[in-house]
Each structure stands twice: as structure tokens, then as C-alpha cells.
Structure 1
Amino acid sequence: MAAIMVVASAQNTRLVQKGLIHPDQACAVPGRRITDSLVLIRDTICYARDRNIRLVVLNLDFEKAFDRLSHQYLFEVLRKVGLPDRRAILNLERAVFYFIWGSKWERVRREVLKKPKEKGGKGVPDLPLFLGARFTALHLALATSPSRNPKTTAFTRFWMGSFLRRKKFLPIDLRVPVSFNLPLFYAFIPTFLKRFNLEQEELQVLTKHRLLISCVQGREPVSSVRGLAIGEPSQVWRNVNHPALPNRLRDLSWMVAHEVLPVRSVMHSRGLLQSATCPRPGCGAPESVRHLLWECSAAVDQWAIAGSLQFPYLPAGEVLTAQLMLYGVGLSPNSKKDFTRIWLTLAATKDATWTSRNLLVGRHMQIPPVAVIRMAAATVREAVAAGGGP
């Protein structure tokens, strides 16, 4: 079995083997050619014949040396030739999330980020799910589907026979030997199916990796949004990923909906700040996401200025509520046809408010509400010019 794994690994690295081992190289001795070994054997035989020395030439099949090879030793050999170990996936996934957040502070659980965008996630690839689905579907298809290589099918059915019979994927035939215990590399399959709750799926699903991934992602619940009724969060995540919003505004709206914008109350709850008080002069309330964008006196002044004269995209007489401003829900039926313009304007205003707050905290710069509104208007014009709005 180990020899077959070595052969399979050799097939996967055949494109780089010429750079690792010279075609004329003998065994693992660099610089020694096969012809040199043949000359040594010839000279040894001639030496024994000339001196009437009894000599036996024994030809050994060195592939047999791998039949009793330790799996751990084999994995160590694979690591030495450049194939990653089992921790490579964890290290790669950790690097992906460090890149997304820009630091080791992960504000949202990784399971949420792996959800589809329409369910409150970011669509980050789930490496264990993707690779596990490919591995499981490949070997189950080899064992249960007609193949042009009967040896591969027989080998796979032997090692997975007991598992396939328990799942009733193969009929019980006492004339065909099977292994009662799954080997190390096939023991992963039952663990994978149990982890992602795929044990009851049909064979037609288990042999196609795309169906496996779709099945797991389809069962993911929609991320909830605080203060909204059932069904409304789906509309929120559609608004967050609205095509009219630039990427910056989408990310801001996503963090607002998850309430993970790094305001002082969020950082204080994670032990990163000693105080959660709003940095605005004269405001002693805790700085939450809702407080920053809606309840703070600076935010109240900004939304009061953001009228129809400043923003013609905000309909006159429209009652602006916190849910409409934060999530884009609760718009009156008469204004739904102008939702794209309204939502782009609201998102740009929130971005300008967040920028002015960061200038206050980082550089102690007081930005008047009129300047904040002008920043938002410039963002709207840039988005419209880039084709993001009507």
C-alpha cells in the first residue's frame, strides 16, 4: 500500500523529477551514474572469476523496502521533498484571515465569514470543506462508479469495503475480500461526513464535490441582525451587497450590520480600551455603532443638514429612521423605486461620519457637519461616475 502511495506521489511530481534526480543517477548518490554501478558489478564479477572466489550476485527489488514503511516516516519523506504536512491548511487559512482583517484581531467568527454573501458572510473559501469534498467525492466515485482502471477500483473497494457496505453503497459479497478497518487516509472520509452532517446524503450527491459544497452552504442559516424581525436580515444582506455600492461602502455596511465597526464600545468589550465613552466633546455616552451613526449629537446635526437641498436623492418628506439609515429597511412604498439613490447616499454619509470620527480620534481634527456632508456628496459623485449608481 505504501508503495502505491509512493508511486502516486511520483506521478504528481513527474514534471519536476528531472530537476531533482538526473536520469542517469544511481539510487540516491548524486554524481554516480547507472553505468558506474554496472561497471562496479562487472569488475567485481571479473575479480572473483580471476581468483576462483565463490561469488553470488543477488538482485533485490528495493520497492519491497517500502511495504513495511511507517506512515509517519513516509509523511516525513513527503515533507522533505516539498509536499506540505497536515498543518499547512490551518496555516494557510490563518494567513487568509490575517490578510482580510489586517491584524490578528478577528472581529467576526470565521464560520460567519465563510457563509455566502447573501447570508451575511463574505464568501471566504472554506478550505477544509472544499478539499474534503474533493477528496471524498473522488474516492467514493472510484469505488462505486464504472472505471477504465479495474485495479484502481478493486484497490479502493478493498480498503473502503466495510464502510461502503455499512452505507449500502456496495452489495455484500462474501467472495470478495474487504478490509475491516479503514486505513489512515480513508478514515478521514467518515469524519468529514459527520463533521458537515452529510452522513444521510445519497450516493449521487456524495460522488460530486460541487453538490457536497452546495448542500453544506445551503443549510447555513442567515446571520441575524439585532432589532430586526425574521425575514428582514435577508433583505439587509442584499442591501449590503448592492451593486451600486463601491467595495469600501459594502465593507462598511457589512461591519455596521454585524456591529463590529471598531468603535470604542466594541474595542472596550474585547479588552483593547479602558473606556467606552464617545470621543466627541461633551458626549459621555458609550460609543456604539448605533450611537456613532444615529444617536450622537454630531450625527443628529449631520442628518438634519442632509436634506433635499444637500442631497436631492433623499426624497422630500421621507421619515428617516435608524433601521433605514443603518440597514436600508423600512422604506415607504412610494420611495422604493428610488432605493438605489437613497441607499448610496445613506452609505456615503455613514462613511463620511466614520471618517470624521477617525480624524477626531487620530489627529484631533474637528470636522463640521457641513464638511462631512460635502465629503459624502463627493463620494456619491465618484460612485455614480464609476457606474455604481443611476
Structure 2
Amino acid sequence: MGKASTGRIAIRAFHQGSHLTIEIQDDGQGLNYDRIRQRALEMGLVSPVDASSLSEVQLMDFIFEPGFSTAAQVNNLSGRGVGLDVVRAQLHSLQGAIAVYSQPQRGTTFILQVPLSLTIAKLFLCQVGSTTYALLGSAIEQILLPQPEQLRPWRGGKVLRWGEANAEQLIPVLPLKGILPYFAPLTSPADSSTALQGRIVLLRYQDQLIAVEIDQAIGEQELVIRPLDPTIVPPSYVYGGSILADGKLTLAIDTTALAKYVLERQVTQGMGQVRSDKDSSLLGSVTPMRSIGELPSKQTAVGAKILLVDDSLTWRQTLALTLQQAGYLVIQADNGREAMTQMRSHPDFGAIVCDLEMPEMNGLELLHYCRQSSSFAQIPFLILTANTDAENRTAAMELGATDYINKSRSHQELLATVAQLVR
């Protein structure tokens, strides 16, 4: 045919709309449609009457049938009809597709399309015990090997001294395996000769830091992250799953969501807060995390259940701690829309304490939703805001707010108001 004695295979990959497209092209003899038709007859895939009228496009579909091959002989490499059927099955499992274009004596092109629900990202791999985790670096502030003088024992745990002398923070050091409510060995331990040991990963969420302790830092790798099966409902910080170079599985952890998860549980599970030495106060306690299943139930809570809605994490945590110390069980939300989700999960709130100005859904919108709902209309609703505008107060009271007070009130006054609402 006048071709070179060496065949050429070209592979190309690129983004095309909402898909990843992969093209594999050769300069071989192309598809032999007569041989495909004959083989389909031999395998009983088509009747003799129908076979004669099949188009090239229809014949092309047979090459994806299990066990289909036009090879005259079977060897260790080919001829068994195993390959293209597996390719199509895998693509279908990814909601992808495959197309074929062929020219006689000039070659064949296979075009694979994969939806971009798969994410390709650079992940920081770390080891905890015999488990490898892949951390998305969005919230990673720093990875450090602390000096002995930077660590200080505190209430059964330890804290990291961080920052300049005049603005030093004491950050609780939490083992990653103590944060996650599950711990299963998925991979073999990394080679200690190449991994850095004794590391702390600093995570930032808004204006707060947490220190997560890992056994080994393996390094960064670019990996494909695939969503978990819809039948699995993972925690908010599990972004998906990935396959490492050695074929082992790992979970991809969203560090922003993980930091938020930890900081919220510092309040709801009595872990305390991170404060600076300048304030002459240390964090309340450093205790291992408890799983969601260990949270106090309605029966074991000392007081009523309070829904606290505020987009300021610092203010919300401070107030939540005050309410908890008074015996209330506090559920938090950072905007009205998240509060609606919490209300559907916990319909027995004794009171709702809500900020006025929040993203996505503000306090007035949440109040209107509650008063229009037969399930939540009777729950006392307290607007707690820094906004002193008389018009907002009037609007809130007309919508059905039980009370409207300013954030400048002391915590003792606030506790007295909440106690009155719950009664």
C-alpha cells in the first residue's frame, strides 16, 4: 500500500465542552466490514437475511460484542475477542461513550468521551497508621515538622505554639485518625526511607487555624478523583475516591470542609476554642473526637435543643459554648438555607436564635418560612443581630418574631431571654 514498514499509533486527549475526549488513531488496514459480517453470521448475532442489508455503521457495532474477533488465529496477545467489550462497558459505567471511524487501508480512529464529573487535582498524600489519605490543598496553610519547644501538653493532649511572641496562638493538635469517625487499613505503609515523619498539617477555615497530626507526609501527586457511589452517603469532607499508582484505593479529603467540621465539633462536643496567650486564656480542652452517633440525644440533653443560625463562625461558636454551658443542646447553621436542612432533621427545637443578615437566606426569610410551615410555626424565634435599624425590627415582629435583641447584650441577658422563650 506504499506505507512505511513501521506502524503509527497516535493518542490525543483534550477537553471538549463538558467531556474529556480521548482519540486513539492508527494507520493500519481499517475495519474489514465483509469479515465482520461473516463473523457475526458465524456467531449467530444476525440472520442471513438481515446480514446482507446491514450498513457499515451497524456492522461496526458488532466489534464491541463479547468474544467478537475477526482474527484468523488466536495468540497470547489478540484474537480472543476480549478488549473492546470491556472498553465500552467501562465507559457506560462512567456515563461515557465511544465512537469509531474507519477508512479501508488507511486506518481506524476510536474516540472516547468521558464526562467531567471526574476531577483531576493535585493532592497531598499522607499516611496515618496503615491508611493513606489524599488531601485537597485548598485549606492547607502549612506543613511543618514542629520543634520540641513548639509543642506543649494540655489536658490530656497537646497544643502547638504558633505565631509571633506578641500574638502567639495555642492551636490544639488533633490526630487525623481521631478526627475521622472511621479508620480502616486500605494501603500498605509507605517506605519510611522516602517519607517525612512527624508532620503537622495546619488547616485554615476563615480566621481560625487547626493543627492536624499525621504519621507520614508522602508528597504531592496529581490524581483523578471520582465521586463515590450514590448509595454511599459520605461525610461532608469526603470529596470522593481515587486510585493510587500502585492500584490501591484512597479517600480524597476536602480540607476546607474538614476544618469546618472540626471547628464546629469543638463547640458541639466540648472541645473548646483556640485563643491567643494575649487574652490570658487557653483552649477549653483537647479531647478525641466522637462520632456523630455519640452526640447526646434529646433524652440525655440537660436542656432544650436550640438551633443557632449565624454566618460568623467566631460569634456562633462563642455563643454556642455559652448555651451549652447552660445545659442546652446546640445545633448550628451558617445561613437560613442550612438551617432549613437542620430543622428537617431535628424537628423538636425548643427555640431558634438567628442572625438577621446572612448569605443565601437571611433571618427574615427563614422567619417567614417557619411561620408559613405548620411544623415550625410554633417554635419561638429570636432575632439576634447587630443591626439596630427600627425598620428591620418592625419587619421582624410583623413576620412573627418572638423577640428582637441586639448582639451587644451580655451573655447573661441572652441566656435569660432564651430560658424565657423555651419556657
State whether TM-score is above 0.5. no
Q: TM-score, normalised by structure 1?
A: 0.24
Question: Normalising by the residue count of structure 2, what TM-score does the alignment of the two structures yield?
Answer: 0.23
More strand by share: 2
Higher relative helix content: 1
